[in-house]
Every structure is written in C-alpha cells, then in structure tokens.
A and B are shown apart, each in its own frame.
Chain A
C-alpha cells in the first residue's frame, strides 16, 4: 500500500502547489465561509504588523490568535506558504491511517486519499488553498489523534493541550482519548478500581501540566495576560458577528439584549454538553467518539469554517463499512452540495449585488447546519445499528419466522 500512497501524496502536493500559485487562492482566502475572525491569515499579518509597530496585537480587536502562533509566524512568515501547504496532509494521512485500523478494510485504505478529496470536494478544496491558520489547528488535532492511536499517552496529552490552547473546544476530546488508552491497556472503566484512577490522574496530569506550561510560556513571551480575554473571551462571548457558516452570528445579531447572556451560555454549554452522554454510550468505541466530538464541535462552535467541516469529513471514509446502514445519505449529500454552491451565490447577492438581504444567507447556513446534523446523527445511527447487528446477526427474524424490522425504543 506504500507505493500508491506515495503516488497519491505527490499528486496532491502538485495540485495544492498549483492552486496556491493561482489567482484562485487570493479570491478564496477572503471568503467568509473559509476564514473566520479567529483564523484569517489577513489578521495574522495585521497582528505581525502591530507587533512591528510596537503595539500589543491584543490591544485591538482584530487579532485573536494565540501568542505562540504569532511568535511562530513572526519567525516563519516568509515560509508561511509551505506551512499552509504541508499542514493539510496530516489530515489526509490521518484518514488513511484510520481506515487501515480496521484490519478487514486494508484493501480500500489506499483509496482513502482519493475518496477524501472526492467526497468533500468543494469544502476540502477551498480549505486547502485558504490561507487560514485553521489548517494548522486541524494538523494539531490530526497529530493528536495519530499519537493517541499509536498509544503514546505523553505526546497525545501534550498535543491535546496544544489543541485546547489553540481553540478551547478540543477540550472535549479528553474523554475519548482517555477511554481509548484505558481500552488499550485493558483497564476497565470502573470507578472503584484504583488502576482506573491511577491512569486517569496520570493522563490528566500530562494534559493539565502541558496546558499550564504552554499558557505560562505565552505569558512570558508576551509579558501580559491580555491574550486570555482576547482569544478565549472572544471565542466564548461572540462579540464579532461577521457572517460565517455557523449558527451564532445571525442569532446574536438579532438577539434581544437582555437575553444575550442567557443564550450565549446555552449555546456554549450545548457544545460541551454532549461529551458526557456520548462518552457513556460509546465508551467501548473511543475512535468513533472522537469523530462524533469533532463533528459536534464543528457544527456548534462559535466561529466555524469549512476547514472544521473538512476535518471531520476526513473521517468519513474510515466509516465506509457503515454505508449500508445510512438512511438518508443521498438527501444529505444533495443538501450539502447544494449549500456549498449556494453560499457564494447568496453572499454575492446580499453583499455585492444588493438584491438579496441577510435572510438569504442566513437561510442557507440554517440548511447547511441542518444537513450536517442529519449527516452526523445518521452516522451515529448507523454505527449503533451495526453494533446491534454484530451481536444479534444481520438478518433478524421475528418469533413467527418472518423478517423483523428494527426500531429504536
């Protein structure tokens, strides 16, 4: 499988290099679907310019990257293009690796890169040539998953801390990673067992410890705590209502002032809340839990971009064995494809042509998120159903011998 993989990588690098050099890159790097106020490359450049002027980049409201990011780019700004070109491969390699996990499906593993590109073509294509630091965040998460699957608790903890530091939300990936390691070390999830607590504390210590170290490091680099409200406060309180593909912007632009705090709390809790029931339900299947968590984050986070969608869609080929149990994949694919086409059209009509208003774009974000929710819950359904069939057999029969239908009760 090594030879076709190398070939595919070479092809992918060529495509990306060509796209990076084309005028398409400039056009796409400003699109609201692709960049958010959190990760726009233009804002990184602005932060660097402020740093050069001797102004703290966090004194304004343009720059919301973490301090480590700005110092990284401060030294590598000339090579930024390479960084952006390379980082998406982590995601690709990840999806390939994931598929190969399932030993029975090694045969289709080599096709994953291709199917990845094909499956979420519009999103992925935009994502890979968008100059946005979202690619780097995705790479960190991909590396985290890679290290977790390889069984390195130390690296996994550090990378998870880094991902959390970058954008808070990957915090919820702590639970699946822990479950995966427990499963790998044959430690049962039992609250009365000391071995369970021993490992949990160990992993939590690695995670919290590296989080503290990273945050402390950024404090020493910057010399102030200004970045905390400017990065994390910005993520939580959603002050920037620039349109994006998420649910937050129009909701909070139209919100009544006295309900704002309440709904911000509700919407933010909503992202983190699913961790607990999902961890209980899927405690035997931590890899699928990772997928669910990433998907939920990318749907319900405050500033989502196509890059986030591309991250969880990269997992989809790994669940190719669930295709036969999906109920409405055709509908969902149509919805998502139609939305990808309609986003730029309605944006143009609203912002440039002036012949539509904000409701048009809002409607399409609603539909897009509805489609994503359908997709994720459909996969969840298929996964649970497959598990049921694994224990009860594929062809179920009623007592009287006729073919039975499965229902959720």
Chain B
C-alpha cells in the first residue's frame, strides 16, 4: 500500500514537473529522495540491531556536535543577518482517562518576505525546508494548513487538544490575492503536496473542495476576508502511517537525528489511540510593532498513548516506555528546546511524582485555563545528568480528581433506516453554566447525499433556535459538494441539535469505491467558536511564551478561540449489481427493441386475407407443368 501510494505520488510529481514549470525539477529530486529515505528507514526499522548501533553511534557523534554547538550558534548570530530561528518543544499531559497526551511542536521562523518583493526567486534556504519554500513561492500561498490524523480526538474524555484536527487528511490554503486562477493553483498544489507528504492529497478535486465564508479565517498576518482565495478540503478516509511521517520528519532542520524528533519512532507513534501530524505555514510578525515579517512553519505532532488500558491499568509512564528512546541532546540548531509536563492537578505532589525533578516551573494560560508546567530545558547540560540521557518518569500515588468538562463539544450521527433517505444529526453542547455564546457550524457534504435545506431544524432546550446567519451552497452533481455554514447562538448549559434530511443517490457503477458496501465517508463538521474564558487570556505578544499556547492569536482577554471537529460519518448508498453491465445493456436494449419491432411491424405492413399456400407436391407439379406448357392445376 505504502509503496503503491508513494509510486503514485512520484508519477504525479513527474507529470506535473514536466507539465508545469521547468524550475520545479528539484521538487522531483526531492520526491525521489523521499522514497529513497523511506526505503532506508524501513530497512533500519526491520532490523532492530542496526537501529541500536545507529543510536550508539549517534550518541557519540551528537556529543561532539554539542561541544561545538555554542560556537556554531554564536557564529550564526553574528554573521548571518537573517534571523532564522528554530524552536522545539514537547508537552506531556496526563489525561484523566489515564491516557497520556504528548504534543510535539517545532517552529521554524524564516526571515524573508518574498510575496512583498513581487515573486522574486528566493534561493537561500537555511533552516526552512526548500521543498515547502518553493511550493509557497510558486503557488503564491498566503497560508497553508495541512493535517493527517489517525483516530478520533475524544473531547469529553481528553479535553481540548492544543491544535485540533479532523480524522483523515485536512488541507486549507489561503492564496495571495494576486492569484488569478485559484482553482488551477489549488489543483497543482494538492498534487505537489501529495508528492511531498506521500499522501493521497491528489484525490482532492472540485467534488470535495469548498470555500467556507466564515469558518476559516487566516491565522497569520493579513485580514483577508474574500473567501474566493480560500480552499478547504478534507479526505476523511485517508489512512495515516509511516510513509507520511518520514517526509514530515525530513522537514525538520535536524531531521530525526537529534533533538526531540529522536523520540519519533513510528512503530511506537502509530501504536497509539490517536495520532495527528500537521504542518502550518503562515506569515507572522517578528515583534510587537510588526516592523519585520517572517514565515512561520509550525510542525506539530500529537499522540495519545493508551498505556492505561493496554498496560493492566497502570498509570506509570516514562519517555522510554512511550517512545522506546530517551533524549540525549537538544537539536543543535534550536534556539530553545523544552519539555513541559502538565502538573496543574498536582500542586503539592500528592498525586504523582516526576523524576528527575526540576526546579523550573512555568505558568501558561491555554484554552481558557491557567495551567502549571514543569519545564525541562534541554539546552542545559544538567538536564541530562550523569548518564547523558534524559528519561522522564512519572509515578502515580493516588487517584486523579475530576476533569474540568470542556465548555464546548460536538458530536454527529446519521439517523434513519433504509437506503433511500436519512437525517444528519449534529449535537453541540455548551457546558458553560451561565454564559451563552455563538458558534459557527460548517458542514461539507458530498454531492451524492442530496441535502434538503428546508428540512433544517435547529433546536435548543426543545425550542426552535433560528440561526442568525446561514450560508448555503447546494451541490452540483459530480462537480461540487454542499456547503452549509450557520451561526448558532448556544444558550448556557444546553444541548443544541441541528438536523437536516438527505436523500441517497444511486451512482454510476464506475463511481463507487472498490468496497462500495463499506460505505462512503462524509467529512467532520467543524464547530468554530469564541468560548468565554475562565481566566483572563494574555493578549500581549511575547516571543518567549511556550509554543503550544501561542498558535491561535488572542484578540480579547475574555474569550479564546476553539475549533471542534465532530466524527466523520459513514453512510451507505444503494448499489447496483456490479457484475451486470453486459446483462443490463442487453436486456434493456431488448425491451426497447421489442417496442421498436412491434411498432415497425404495424407501421410497415398492411392487413391481408391469409391465403394458405398450396402443399409442396402441388407446387412441384405446377412447376413441372409450367415447364411443359401444360395448364396448371387449380
């Protein structure tokens, strides 16, 4: 499967590089490079001993690097005026279900602004990956967000993630407003990205792309509001695996050789109940006054390990147990490299115990809540101790308390029976005890489920709750999906149910997926909201705040932005009999021919009295008589 997909994407890249532009030939090399690396990595992974040796060697090498590191960075700072910067961080949050949430974030700042300089070619790359930089400049991308997720984030058990993502692949891109052919750029971009990430993004076409009018605003600079330059698509069926992780890791300045990325061993990362990797690129301000701009590449990887259920109910965890690796050093190119552990529930150390202990504590307001973290700074040598290895360990002493219920969460399901009609139910919960707030609900439904917008009902507390804004774009068969966006006011402490009926279409036999009776996926609906915050959010811009709390810009103190994705739906469609094409063509044509034949018969012939022809012997005799010239028999 993996080889096939990669092969496909290489072919894609080949075609596009030959078609699109002569300058994209290095993308081709990159793609080939990707496959080569992947092969090498898989070889290493299959042979455990090789991996072990590799690790030892790297330890030695890496210590050498570390000795030189301080000089290196100093030199970089003094000589290079470009302020490229790389930060990495790992946040570990013990969840109340007993699972462990590990969130990696890597941020690369690229001090260039090629969009302002009028499409000038940028040829100097330092920390920023060249493959992505070229994509940005070639397709005039203003902002790019892509995520690959395996598993579903259980908001009610786990709380809100730092950066949410829907199951499958999600891609949304803001193009620069100078682009004239947005659809053409989008199509090429998806194909190129599918090559870069070894994913089936090339299956994104006009039938699953929408232009949301309100739900997806640019997260970086630029207040673009014209949604003609926005494209959003999800592939809910996309399966995320090693072949997507490898190219993702290669985008990091240190690769997976040093720093936190050492922990990313795919056999551990994918042995988890939730895995999500994402790339976010956007232009941001370098400082508070916004005198200089920079491109920010944020790579995030979120994993939830289910050690609690799979490990006989033990809540102990360590870095080695989770990742089968320990940390030995920070990435030499990183300006900061930190590990955070959420200890908010454990202020006096009565619930669990961390070892090694750290004196560093940090407080951050994240997702409307003030959290306390133990911080391990990997750039300091003392973090690694005597063994030159950092293995974080957590031991539980007591039972955990109650979790704060997330203020907003949503779920979705299909109601009804049979293959003719159905009803999509989306249920949105506002768990705030006294505050009402509005949410934006966005649904993108494939064309083969025909929505009936007049059956749309929104009810809160068993009363009709009329949305104050509805943006609806009906589907065109085989051309574009339905897009439904609504602004709904959620009453405090309530459950709001949105239902809409649909009809299932019968498709052409070639339009079904190879396993048609498995069903068709409908992407998650997206609930975006400004949720009232429990504590004041910090609106001031600081460079040194932790990465996980600085992704979504905070505009006001009293609320914070949350995006919740519901479950994708799996809907069955009626199927024709796939073995029948010849029979159906023959049978239907027969019936038409019967009609034609009987009309033809009646149209061309006339009624005549039936004169039975004389028997054969008589005809023979008459024949002979005619030859002989004798009168014929009567």
Contacts of A274 in B (CB 8 A): 599
Contact B452 A50 (CB under 8 A): no
Contact B420 A380 (CB under 8 A): no
CA distance in complex: A239, B574 (Å): 16
Min CB distance B449 to A, Å, is: 11
Contact B417 A362 (CB under 8 A): no
B534 in contact (CB, < 8 A): no
Contact with B along A350-386 (1 / 0, CB 8 A): 1110000111001000100110011001001100110
Closest to A388 in B: B607
A315 in contact (CB, < 8 A): no
Contact B577 A357 (CB under 8 A): yes
Of A3-11, A54-62, A164-172, the one with at least 4 CB within 8 A of chain B? A54-62
Contact A49 B453 (CB under 8 A): yes
Contact B509 A253 (CB under 8 A): yes
Of B74-82, B113-121, B584-592, the one with at least 4 CB within 8 A of chain A? B584-592
CA distance in complex: A300, B599 (Å): 13
Give 15 pairs: A residue, B residue, CB < 8 Å, sorted on A. Answer: A30-B420, A49-B453, A53-B472, A55-B474, A239-B478, A240-B477, A241-B506, A254-B584, A255-B585, A278-B599, A370-B594, A373-B591, A377-B598, A398-B609, A407-B610
A264 in contact (CB, < 8 A): no
CA distance in complex: A242, B503 (Å): 10
Contacts of B507 in A (CB 8 A): 241, 253
Not counting A300-B595, A396-B609, a sample of 5 additional A-B residue pairs whose C-beta atoms are within 8 angstroms of each other reads: A55-B474, A62-B450, A253-B508, A278-B599, A281-B603
Contact A46 B506 (CB under 8 A): no
A42 in contact (CB, < 8 A): yes
CA distance in complex: A300, B591 (Å): 11
Contact A42 B452 (CB under 8 A): yes
Given known A-B contacts A251-B588, A351-B418, A358-B574, A377 and B602 have beta carbons under 8 A apart: yes
Contacts of A251 in B (CB 8 A): 584-585, 588
Min CB distance B416 to A, Å, is: 11
Interface residues on chain A, number (Cβ under 8 Å): 63
Min CB distance B575 to A, Å, is: 7
- B576-622 interface with A by 8 A CB criterion: 576-577, 580-581, 584-585, 587-588, 591-592, 594-596, 598-599, 601-603, 605-611
A: residues with CB less than 8 A from B are 30, 32, 42, 45-46, 48-50, 53, 55, 59-62, 239-243, 247, 249-257, 267, 270, 274, 277-278, 281, 299-300, 350-352, 357-359, 362, 366, 369-370, 373-374, 377, 380-381, 384-385, 388, 396, 398, 404-409
CA distance in complex: A262, B606 (Å): 33
Contacts of B453 in A (CB 8 A): 46, 49-50, 53
Contact B594 A373 (CB under 8 A): yes
Q: Identify which of A267, A362, A396 gathers the most chain B CB atoms within 10 Å of its CB.
A: A362
Contact B595 A299 (CB under 8 A): yes
Contact A407 B607 (CB under 8 A): yes
Contact A247 B592 (CB under 8 A): yes
Given known A-B contacts A380-B602, A384-B607, A408-B605, A61 and B476 have beta carbons under 8 A apart: yes
Contacts of A243 in B (CB 8 A): 506, 574
CA distance in complex: A266, B595 (Å): 14
CA distance in complex: A50, B450 (Å): 14
Contact B581 A256 (CB under 8 A): yes
Contact of B454 among A46, A253, A369, A407 (CB under 8 A): A46
Contacts of A405 in B (CB 8 A): 609-610
Min CB distance B586 to A, Å, is: 10
Contacts of B606 in A (CB 8 A): 388, 408-409
Contact of A370 among B447, B451, B591 (CB under 8 A): B591
CA distance in complex: A374, B474 (Å): 42
B505 in contact (CB, < 8 A): yes
Contact A49 B420 (CB under 8 A): no
Contact of A59 among B418, B454, B473, B608 (CB under 8 A): B473
Contacts of A267 in B (CB 8 A): 592
Min CB distance B394 to A, Å, is: 50
Contact A408 B574 (CB under 8 A): no
Contact B609 A406 (CB under 8 A): yes
CA distance in complex: A377, B591 (Å): 13
CA distance in complex: A32, B482 (Å): 23
Contacts of B55 in A (CB 8 A): none
CA distance in complex: A299, B598 (Å): 14
Contact B473 A62 (CB under 8 A): no
Interface of A, secondary structure class, is helix
Contact A50 B474 (CB under 8 A): yes
Contact A254 B592 (CB under 8 A): no
Contacts of B452 in A (CB 8 A): 42, 45-46, 62
Contact B609 A60 (CB under 8 A): no
Contact A408 B475 (CB under 8 A): no
Min CB distance B144 to A, Å, is: 29
CA distance in complex: A398, B611 (Å): 8
- B388-440 interface with A by 8 A CB criterion: 417-421
- B545-596 interface with A by 8 A CB criterion: 574-577, 580-581, 584-585, 587-588, 591-592, 594-596
CA distance in complex: A352, B595 (Å): 33
B510 in contact (CB, < 8 A): yes
B65 in contact (CB, < 8 A): no
Contact A250 B608 (CB under 8 A): no
Contacts of A278 in B (CB 8 A): 599, 603
Contacts of B417 in A (CB 8 A): 352
CA distance in complex: A268, B450 (Å): 26
Contact A250 B584 (CB under 8 A): yes
Contact A255 B508 (CB under 8 A): yes
Contacts of A359 in B (CB 8 A): 577, 580
Contacts of B447 in A (CB 8 A): 61
Contact of B601 among A45, A299, A385, A408 (CB under 8 A): A408
- B167-187 interface with A by 8 A CB criterion: none
Contact B592 A60 (CB under 8 A): no
Contacts of A398 in B (CB 8 A): 609, 611
Min CB distance A291 to B, Å, is: 14
Contact of A254 among B503, B505, B576, B605 (CB under 8 A): B576
Q: Identify which of B417, B477, B576 gathers the most chain A CB atoms within 10 Å of its CB.
A: B576
CA distance in complex: A55, B482 (Å): 13
Contacts of A239 in B (CB 8 A): 477-478
Given known A-B contacts A48-B454, A370-B594, A408-B602, A60 and B506 have beta carbons under 8 A apart: no
CA distance in complex: A250, B585 (Å): 9
Closest to A348 in B: B418
Contacts of B598 in A (CB 8 A): 373-374, 377
B15 in contact (CB, < 8 A): no
CA distance in complex: A373, B597 (Å): 10
CA distance in complex: A319, B308 (Å): 82
Contact of B506 among A49, A249, A374 (CB under 8 A): A249
CA distance in complex: A60, B452 (Å): 11
Across the A-B interface, give the 5 residue pairs with the lowest CB-CB distance, nearest first.
A60-B474, A49-B454, A377-B598, A408-B605, A254-B584
Contacts of A53 in B (CB 8 A): 453, 470, 472
Contacts of B505 in A (CB 8 A): 240-242
Closest to A384 in B: B602
- B333-383 interface with A by 8 A CB criterion: none
CA distance in complex: A278, B600 (Å): 10
Contact B587 A366 (CB under 8 A): yes
Contact B510 A270 (CB under 8 A): no
CA distance in complex: A403, B31 (Å): 90
- B460-506 interface with A by 8 A CB criterion: 470, 472-478, 482, 503, 505-506
